[in-house]
Chain A
Amino acid sequence: MDTVLEVKGITKKFPGVLANDHVDFNLRKGEIHALLGENGAGKSTLMNIIYGLTSPDDGEILINGKATHFHSPKDAIACGIGMVHQHFMLVPVFTVAENIMLGSEKLRNGVLDIVQVNKDLKELSTQYGLEIDPTSLVHDLPVGIQQRVEIIKALYRKAEILILDEPTAVLTPQEVEDLFIIIRKLVDQGISVIFITHKLKEVLSIADRITVMRGGKVIATDDPKQTNEQALASQMVGRTVILKVDKTPAKPGDVVLSVKDLHVQDDRKIETVRGVSFEVRKGEILGIAGVQGNGQTELAEAMTGLRHAISGEIRIQDQNVFNHPPRDLVEKGMGHIPEDRQKHGFVMQYPISDNLVLCSYYVSPFCRRGVLQNSAIGTNAENLIKRFDIRTPSPYVPTSKLSGGNQQKVIVARELSRNIKFLVANQPTRGLDVGSIEYIHHEIVQMRDEGIGVVLISAELDEIMALSDRIAVMYHGEIVAILPADKVTREELGLMMAGSLKPEVSTI
């Protein structure tokens, strides 16, 4: 097979880090080459160099055997490289057609030729089997379709090499399936794909070759048929990683949180939680599985006091806390790891030390007679940073400067260090790398063993399966089943999440 892209000895230094250290990498025509590595391993830097967004300090890039220098993405695009960024580069208020032609507009007498673009798009759609309505506005489209727009955008620019940066991070399991079908179709048409990810299962199911990066270096290039998740994870992290969560059977105690016939509306006043009931006991993990957008967000917000519910009942032990304010819930023993950590988890600009007392800054010892006690706050921060292994130069750096994994650890540290009775963990490991996931899973299980009731909401089936003692499946705002975790298979759960399997045993 021909090599369409080759990079040799790429080195890139950023202040304080060697992001790429003599990286060699090549891509053959018509292959799917996965680039695997933890956050900060240097994958994105390498791709930004290949796409012309950053220039390397050293090393060379060969396209079809010819050495090239990119000064901007324009040059890379001209060489047939297309990139689908993790955060989509689409203008939300533009139509699909406007987004796709932006930067390489078709003109007719000096005026944008939308008709021609629409026609071209129709052709592209049929050629690659990517259906799209060119006239719809991007912000009206679901995430999976937006990604499709990004792929078409690259193909429209005649891309032969397609870089997909963490393409599955934002997708539901169904959308991932669709994406994989699309990628295989593209490859059949002669397109070569670089697939960046840190998800092991995906890599094994789609890649032709796997290159693992760690600390800015290429560690190995593997054949997916001759490796497995365990081996890849160890290469990625640099030590043996326990992928399987080690846990003993739960010893459930009294009911700590009960939700009865809860109804909640979303921002558009559409009822997205429709009569949900469940109980969580001390010392157990109740997993709530479901494809994103089936009411989990609103359910979590209502449980944690962030959203007013319409009707129903929420009790912490015996006290009714329906529509009580968050502070009251926190004082009654609620812990919360929110879905969007940067929005609801902490204040980005605050130092770590302040974020660690966000729930308790107003009580002794952190506050006396209305004055914050900085020494107590500092000591608390130092203790928690040590105990939860938060990697930071100091407790006083703004939390925004930390990596995603360490930001999540700040939240986990704050919530778990308090005297809580139950924990609502909503997508606690989203966007984190293997090492951090391992750590957070371990902490959650340990909390359970200490007698805390945990509600785990996750779109990752693996996470639900690995941690839960009981699993509730949410579909269209209702809980279709609550099952013991050891009595249900992955496949059954997948079908229930899609609403196509109605279980016989509905609740236990």
Chain B
Amino acid sequence: MDLKRSIFITIIVAFLYSIVILIGKDTTQPLIILTSMIATTISVATPLTLGALCGTFCERSGVTNIGIEGMMLSAAFFGWLTSIYLNTIYHVTPLPSLLIGVFVAILTGGLLGLLHAWLSVTFKVDQIISGTVINILATGVTGFLNRQLFFEKGSIFGGNVPHAPGTLPIIAIPGLSQIPVFGKVFEQQPIAWTAIILVFVANFVLFRTRWGLRTRAVGEHPRAADTVGINVSFMRYINVIIGGCLAGLGGAYFTLESVPSFEPLMTNGRGFISLAAMIFGNWTPLGAWAAALVFGAAQAFQINLQFFRDLIPPQWAFLQQSYIVGLTPYILTMIILAGLIGRTTSPAADGTPYEK
């Protein structure tokens, strides 16, 4: 992450946080608002971080993946479906239901990764088309099954959405979470913690291990890798599947960690924002995480501002319109993708099928 982008990130985050603190300071202590903002930022950045990691693995190996959105949506649905099934039909207790749900979500992502690799590596289908196929498939299948299983008469759940087993429990870091007020930041749910750990694992794998070196070589100059005996297709397959699993975990966040329910299209463009984060982070895990946190801050801005809606001064009345505030992450995406904040370079062979 270069200086220009680091400064941009700092300014945006500071700006968004200050507005909320300024508006809310009359009724709430600034430190409490700041804590809440940071905690929300970390939490809502989770799917973006995981999505961006998915993109990083895929694209570093030379496969463009615009199907992250679809992978997340499918994973969110099937993970949730599994946990509800286990909980209501087989009477499994909530926590195991949720954990198995998370596992199924990862599996769903991995399988869609396999599909993407199959189409784009084996059949050399245009990778944008392959990704679009996954997105359309995900929208269709989850929407259809959601209606059929829960809202059709005579379906398993008989037209009633059953009581979900809740969400994953909060894990507080001992010691740090005992800090007065600010300790709240260190109380997050398991997928959020896992995402942060995975950022560092991914960074280590990509830049310090043999697997990473070969992955990057395959994404930059596949023929060079081939001439030293590296199996290009195999590397791409596995990396896209790893990416799929990461997106799957990101999908689980929506229905098993954030809220205990599923709605059609609930990923709401997060997969695409992840791609923007990956690009802004220059295809590195740490950079992608930093970028995901900026988008997280934009969402935290929207969420936290709601608490202080009545305190918004009349000259800032437009901030009361939630649909305007809700645009922040998308406007940020546009600014970043337009390349206004420094251009980044994609892996040289990104999106190009390898022809022997």
Chain A: residues with CB nearer than 8 A to chain B?
A: 51, 53, 72-74, 77, 83, 85, 88-94, 98-99, 101-105, 107, 110-112, 153
Contact = CB atoms under 8 A, between A and B. Distances in A.
Nearest to B210: A105
B205 to A, nearest CB: 10
B229 A72 contact: yes
Nearest to A74: B229
A210 B59 CA distance: 46
Nearest to A52: B229
Contact of A107 (B210, B217, B223): B210
Given A77-B229, A94-B216, A102 B208 contact: no
**Which applies to chain B's interface (DSSP): helix, strand, loop or mixed?**
helix
Contact of A112 (B213, B228, B230, B348): B213
Contacts of B227: 51, 53, 73, 83, 85, 89
A92 B216 CA distance: 11
A492 B223 CA distance: 42
Contact of B220 (A51, A91, A111): A91
Contacts of A72: 229
B228 A103 contact: yes
Contacts of A102: 213-214, 217, 224-225, 228, 230
| Candidate in A90, A98, A99, A102 with the most chain B CB atoms within 10 angstroms | A102
B226 interface: yes
A307 B348 CA distance: 26
A196 B213 CA distance: 31
B225 to A, nearest CB: 7
B178 interface: no
B354 to A, nearest CB: 13
B229 A111 contact: no
Nearest to B228: A103
Interface residues of B, number: 18
B209 interface: yes
B221 A92 contact: yes
B236 to A, nearest CB: 16
A110 B210 CA distance: 8
Given A105-B210, A110-B209, A112-B210, A91 B216 contact: yes
Interface string B190-226: 0000000000000000001110011011001101111
Contacts of B226: 73
A94 B228 contact: no
B216 A77 contact: no
A91 B229 contact: no
The listed residue with most B CB atoms (<10 A of its CB), out of A83, A101, A103, A110, is A103
- Point out which of A77, A91, A92 has the most chain B C-beta atoms below 10 A from its C-beta: A91
A90 B228 contact: no
Contacts of A92: 220-221, 348
Given A77-B228, A111-B209, 18 more contacts: A73-B226, A74-B228, A85-B227, A89-B221, A89-B223, A89-B227, A89-B228, A91-B220, A91-B224, A94-B216, A98-B213, A102-B214, A102-B228, A102-B230, A103-B225, A105-B213, A110-B209, A112-B209
A458 B224 CA distance: 30
Interface of B: 208-210, 213-214, 216-217, 220-221, 223-230, 348
Contacts of B213: 98, 101-102, 105, 112
A300 B209 CA distance: 46
Contacts of A77: 228-229
Given A90-B221, A91-B221, A104 B216 contact: no
A91 B217 CA distance: 6
A72 B226 CA distance: 9
Nearest to B349: A91
B2 to A, nearest CB: 15
- 5 nearest A-B pairs in the assembled complex, by CB-CB distance: A103-B228, A74-B229, A89-B224, A105-B210, A91-B220
Contacts of B224: 88-91, 99, 102
Contacts of A88: 224
A103 B230 contact: yes
A110 B217 CA distance: 18
B56 to A, nearest CB: 15
Contacts of A98: 213
Contacts of A94: 216-217, 220
14 contacts: A74-B228, A83-B227, A90-B224, A91-B217, A92-B220, A92-B348, A93-B220, A94-B216, A94-B217, A94-B220, A102-B224, A102-B228, A105-B213, A112-B210
Contacts of B229: 72-74, 77, 103
Contacts of A105: 210, 213
A89 B348 CA distance: 14
A121 to B, nearest CB: 16
Contacts of A53: 227
Contacts of A89: 221, 223-224, 227-228
Contacts of B220: 91-94
Nearest to A93: B220
B202 to A, nearest CB: 15
B133 to A, nearest CB: 26
A105 B220 CA distance: 18
B282 to A, nearest CB: 11
Nearest to B220: A91
A385 B98 CA distance: 71
A88 B221 CA distance: 10
A166 B149 CA distance: 66
A98 B216 CA distance: 11
A486 B105 CA distance: 79
A102 B214 CA distance: 7
A77 B229 CA distance: 9
Nearest to A106: B210
Contacts of B210: 105, 107, 112
A90 B224 CA distance: 6
Contacts of A85: 227
Nearest to B221: A91
A66 B217 CA distance: 34
Given A92-B220, A92-B221, A102-B217, A111 B228 contact: no
A111 B348 CA distance: 25
A73 B229 CA distance: 6
A98 B348 CA distance: 17
Nearest to A88: B224
Contacts of A73: 226-229
A11 B223 CA distance: 24
B227 to A, nearest CB: 5
A99 B220 CA distance: 12
A153 B214 CA distance: 16
A133 to B, nearest CB: 19
B81 to A, nearest CB: 38
